[in-house]
Amino acid sequence: MFALLGATAAVLLARGWDARVVDPAQPDAQPSEPRLVQPLAAAPSPSPQEPVSERLDPSFDRDQAMPVRARAVASYTMRAALDPVAHTIVGTSNVRWTNASTQPVRELYLHLYLNAFKSERTTFMAQRVPGGRGTGALLDAGHLTISELRVPAMSEDNLWPWARPADPTNPDDETDMRVPLPAQVAPDSEIEIEVKWQAKLPAIVERSGYWGTFHMVGQWFPKIAKLQADGTFAHFAYHHLGEFYADYGDYDVTIEVPSRFMVGATGERVGDTIDGDRRVVRHVQRDVHDFAFAAWDGFEEHVADAGGVSIRCLVPRGYGRAAAKQIEAATFGLQYFAAKFGAYPYATLTIVHPPTGAEEAGGMEYPTLITTGGPWYEPSWVGVARSLTLHELAHQYFYGLVGTDEATWPMLDEGLATLAEVDALQAGWGAGAALRVPGLSLSAFAVLRGMGLQGGQDAVIAQPARSFSSARTYGTLVYARTALLLETVGRAYGDGIQGTVGRYARRYRYGHPGPSHLLGAVRDVLGDAAAEALRVGLFDRGWVDFAISDMRCDAERDGSGQHRCELVMTRRGNLRLPVQVDLLLEDGTRQRITWEGLEPQELVVHTGRSPVIGVIVDPEHRIMLDEDLANNAMTTHSRAQAWRVHALGTTLAAMVIGAIAR
Amino acid sequence: MTADGTRGPRWWTPSLLPYVIALHLARVGFAATAAYPFAAITSRTLGSWPGGDAQVFEPGGYLMMEVVRLHRAALWSAAEQASLLLLLALPIGAVLEGLLLSALTCTDGRSFSRVAGRVASAAGALGVLEVARLIVIAGVTLTTYVLVQGLRPTLSEWVGIKAADIGAWMMAAMGVLLVLAVEVMYDVSRAAAVLEGLDTPRALVRGFTLVGTRLAACAFGYGARAAGALFVVVIGWQLSAAVGLATDGRAAVTATLQQVVLIALLVLRVSWLVRARELLGEKGHCTSAHCAP
Residue A422 clears pLDDT 70, i.e. is over it:
yes
Least confident residue range of A278-282, A503-507, A600-604, B5-9: B5-9
**What residues of chain A lie within 8 A of the CB of B93, using their CB?**
657, 660-662
Report how far residue B159's alpha carbon sits from residue B147's, in angstroms, rounded to the nearest whole number.
17
Least confident residue range of A361-365, B152-156, B195-199, B214-218: B152-156
At A14 the pLDDT is: 34
Higher pLDDT residue, A640 or A655?
A655
> Does the distance separating the beta carbons of B31 and A654 come in below 8 Å?
yes
**CB atoms near residue A641 (< 10 Å):** 15
Please state whether A208 falls in left (phi above 0), alpha (psi between -120 and 50) or beta. Answer: beta
**What residues of chain A lie within 8 A of the CB of B49, using their CB?**
616, 632-633, 640
Name the pLDDT band for B16 (thresholds 50, 70, 90). Answer: confident
In terms of CA atoms, which chain A residue is nearest residue B51? A640
β pairing state of A262-265 and A249-258: unpaired
Name the pLDDT band for B9 (thresholds 50, 70, 90). Answer: low
Q: Which residues pair with A456 in a beta bridge?
A: none
Nearest to B237 by CA among A648, A611, A469: A648
Report how far residue A623's alpha carbon sits from residue A631's, in angstroms, rounded to the nearest whole number.
14
What type of residue is A646?
A: H
Is the four-CA dihedral A367, A372, A376, A377 of positive or negative sign?
Answer: negative
pLDDT per position as a tens digit, B129-161: 999 999 999 999 999 999 999 988 888 888 888
**What residues of chain B lie within 8 A of the CB of A653, using their CB?**
30-32, 34-35, 82
pLDDT per position as a tens digit, B69-92: 999 999 999 999 999 998 889 999
Residue A362 clears pLDDT 90, i.e. is over it:
yes
Per DSSP, helices labelled H in A435-514 are 444-452, 471-474, 482-493, 498-507
Q: Is residue A393 a contact partner of residue A330, using CB atoms and an 8 Å limit?
A: yes
Chain B nearest C-alpha distance from A27 (Å): 30
Chain B nearest C-alpha distance from A585 (Å): 12
Q: Which of B66, B86, B163 minimises the CB distance to A657?
A: B86
CA A136 to chain centre: 24
At B8 the pLDDT is: 61
**What residues of chain B lie within 8 A of the CB of A630, using their CB?**
44-46, 48, 66, 70
Report how far residue A423's alpha carbon sits from residue A420's, in angstroms, rounded to the nearest whole number.
5
**What residues of chain B lie within 8 A of the CB of A317, using their CB?**
160, 162
What type of residue is A570?
A: T
pLDDT per position as a tens digit, A55-78: 998 999 999 989 999 999 999 999
Helical (H) or strand (E) element with A22? none
Residue A7 clears pLDDT 70, i.e. is over it:
no
> Does the distance separating the beta carbons of B30 and A647 come in below 8 Å?
no
> Does the distance separating the beta carbons of B69 and A640 come in below 8 Å?
no
pLDDT per position as a tens digit, A393-409: 999 999 999 999 999 99
pLDDT per position as a tens digit, A193-220: 999 999 999 999 989 999 999 999 999 9
**CA distance to A158, A308, A374, A568, per residue, from A476 (Å):** 46, 36, 21, 32
At A27 the pLDDT is: 37
Q: Is residue A404 a contact partner of residue A398, using CB atoms and an 8 Å limit?
A: yes
Name the pLDDT band for B110 (thresholds 50, 70, 90). Answer: low
Cβ neighbours of residue A51 closer than 8 Å, sequence gap 6 or more: A516, A519, A520, A522, A523, A531
Burial of A561 (0-12, 13-18, 19+ CB in 10 A): exposed
Name the pLDDT band for A383 (thresholds 50, 70, 90). Answer: confident
> Does the distance separating the beta carbons of A430 and B35 come in below 8 Å?
no
**What residues of chain A lie within 8 A of the CB of B262, using their CB?**
651, 654-655, 658
Q: Which residues pair with A440 in a beta bridge?
A: A437
**CA distance to A166, A244, A447, A642, B82, per residue, from B56 (Å):** 55, 42, 14, 10, 21
**What residues of chain B lie within 8 A of the CB of A431, using their CB?**
59-61
Chain A nearest C-alpha distance from B60 (Å): 4
CB contacts < 8 A, A to B, total 215
Average pLDDT, rounded, for chain A: 91
Chain A nearest C-alpha distance from B237 (Å): 7
Chain B nearest C-alpha distance from A386 (Å): 17
At B141 the pLDDT is: 96
Relative orientation angle of helices B161-195 and B112-121, to the nearest 10 degrees: 120
> Does the distance separating the beta carbons of A644 and B97 come in below 8 Å?
no
Q: Is residue A299 a contact partner of residue A355, using CB atoms and an 8 Å limit?
A: no
- Quick one: DSSP state of residue A477? I
Q: Which of A318, A443, A655 minimises the CB distance to B160?
A: A318
Strand order in the sheet with A348-352: A299-306, A309-316, A348-352, A369-371, A364-366
Helical (H) or strand (E) element with A269? strand A268-275
Chain B nearest C-alpha distance from A450 (Å): 6
Q: Is residue B60 a contact partner of residue A442, using CB atoms and an 8 Å limit?
A: yes
Chain B nearest C-alpha distance from A357 (Å): 10
Q: Which of B36, B161, B266 minimises the CB distance to A318?
A: B161
**What residues of chain B lie within 8 A of the CB of A662, using their CB?**
93-94, 97, 183, 186-187, 269
Report how far residue A162's alpha carbon sits from residue A151's, in angstroms, rounded to the nearest whole number.
13
Cβ neighbours of residue A647 closer than 8 Å, sequence gap 6 or more: B251, B254, B255, B258
**CA distance to B107, B208, B267, B274, per residue, from B198 (Å):** 21, 14, 27, 18
Cβ neighbours of residue A238 closer than 8 Å, sequence gap 6 or more: A111, A113, A115, A116, A122, A123, A124, A173, A175, A176, A219
Cβ neighbours of residue B260 closer than 8 Å, sequence gap 6 or more: B236
Name the pLDDT band for B1 (thresholds 50, 70, 90). Answer: very low
> Does the distance separating the beta carbons of A634 and B48 come in below 8 Å?
yes
At A299 the pLDDT is: 96
Q: Is residue A49 a contact partner of residue A522, using CB atoms and an 8 Å limit?
A: no
pTM of the shown model: 0.90
- Quick one: DSSP state of residue B275? H
Q: Which of B75, B156, B162, B271 to mutate to test the interface with A (most CBs of A within 10 A)?
A: B162
Nearest to A489 by CA among A477, A500, A478, A505: A500
At B192 the pLDDT is: 92
As a whole number, mean pLDDT of residues B218-224 equals 94
Report how far residue B100's alpha carbon sits from residue B22's, in angstroms, rounded to the nearest whole number.
9
**What residues of chain A lie within 8 A of the CB of B89, using their CB?**
657, 660-661
Residue B231 clears pLDDT 50, i.e. is over it:
yes
Is the four-CA dihedral B87, B91, B92, B94 of positive or negative sign?
Answer: positive
> Does the distance separating the beta carbons of A644 and B245 come in below 8 Å?
yes
Name the pLDDT band for A662 (thresholds 50, 70, 90). Answer: confident
Q: Is residue A307 a contact partner of residue A291, using CB atoms and an 8 Å limit?
A: no
Burial of B21 (0-12, 13-18, 19+ CB in 10 A): exposed
Question: Cα torsion for A165, A166, A167, A168, to the nearest 10°?
Answer: 70
pLDDT per position as a tens digit, A442-498: 999 999 999 999 888 899 999 999 999 999 999 999 999 999 999 999 999 999 999
Q: Which residues pair with A223 in a beta bridge?
A: A111
As a whole number, mean pLDDT of residues A347-372 equals 96
Helical (H) or strand (E) element with A76? strand A74-83
pLDDT per position as a tens digit, A170-180: 999 999 999 99
At B285 the pLDDT is: 44
Long-range pairs for B144-148 at CB < 8 Å and ≥24 separation?
A: B144/B171, B144/B172, B144/B174, B144/B175, B144/B178, B147/B171, B148/B172
E strands, A84-142, are 88-98, 105-111
> Does the distance separating the beta carbons of A584 and B265 come in below 8 Å?
no
pLDDT per position as a tens digit, A567-625: 999 999 999 999 999 999 999 999 999 999 999 999 999 999 999 999 999 999 999 99
At A5 the pLDDT is: 33
Largest CA distance in chain B: 67
Question: Cα torsion for A169, A171, A177, A180, to the nearest 10°?
Answer: 90
Q: Is residue B93 a contact partner of residue B171, using CB atoms and an 8 Å limit?
A: no
Name the pLDDT band for A559 (thresholds 50, 70, 90). Answer: confident
Name the pLDDT band for A13 (thresholds 50, 70, 90). Answer: very low
Average pLDDT, rounded, for chain B: 88
Number of DSSP helices (H) and strands (E) in chain A, helices first: 13, 31
Report how far residue A631's alpha carbon sits from residue A637's, in angstroms, rounded to the nearest whole number.
15
Report how far residue B265's alpha carbon sits from residue B256's, in angstroms, rounded to the nearest whole number.
14
Torsions phi, psi for B246 (to 5 deg): -65, -40
Q: Is residue A282 a contact partner of residue A319, using CB atoms and an 8 Å limit?
A: no
> Does the distance separating the beta carbons of A657 and B70 come in below 8 Å?
no
> Does the distance separating the beta carbons of B69 and A642 come in below 8 Å?
no
Report how far residue A251's alpha carbon sits from residue A589's, in angstroms, rounded to the nearest whole number.
64
Name the pLDDT band for A39 (thresholds 50, 70, 90). Answer: low
Q: Which residues pair with A93 in a beta bridge?
A: A78, A195
Higher pLDDT residue, A139 or A351?
A351
Q: Which of A450, A646, A656 minimises the CB distance to B39?
A: A646
Q: Is residue A577 a contact partner of residue A564, using CB atoms and an 8 Å limit?
A: no
Chain B nearest C-alpha distance from A136 (Å): 19
As a whole number, mean pLDDT of residues A315-331 equals 95
Residue B289 clears pLDDT 80, i.e. is over it:
no
Report how far residue A350's alpha carbon sits from residue A254's, in angstroms, rounded to the nearest whole number.
17
For Cα atoms B5, B6, B11, give the angle at the middle one, nearest 5 degrees: 120
Chain A nearest C-alpha distance from B74 (Å): 15
Report how far residue A98's alpha carbon sits from residue A74's, in angstroms, rounded to the nearest whole number.
7
At B109 the pLDDT is: 57
Q: Which of B65, B83, B165, B237 to mutate to test the interface with A (most CBs of A within 10 A)?
A: B65
Interface ipTM = 0.91
Q: Which of B31, B43, B61 minimises the CB distance to A443?
A: B61
At A45 the pLDDT is: 58
Q: Which of B61, B251, B259 minimises the CB distance to A440?
A: B61
At A9 the pLDDT is: 37
At A38 the pLDDT is: 54
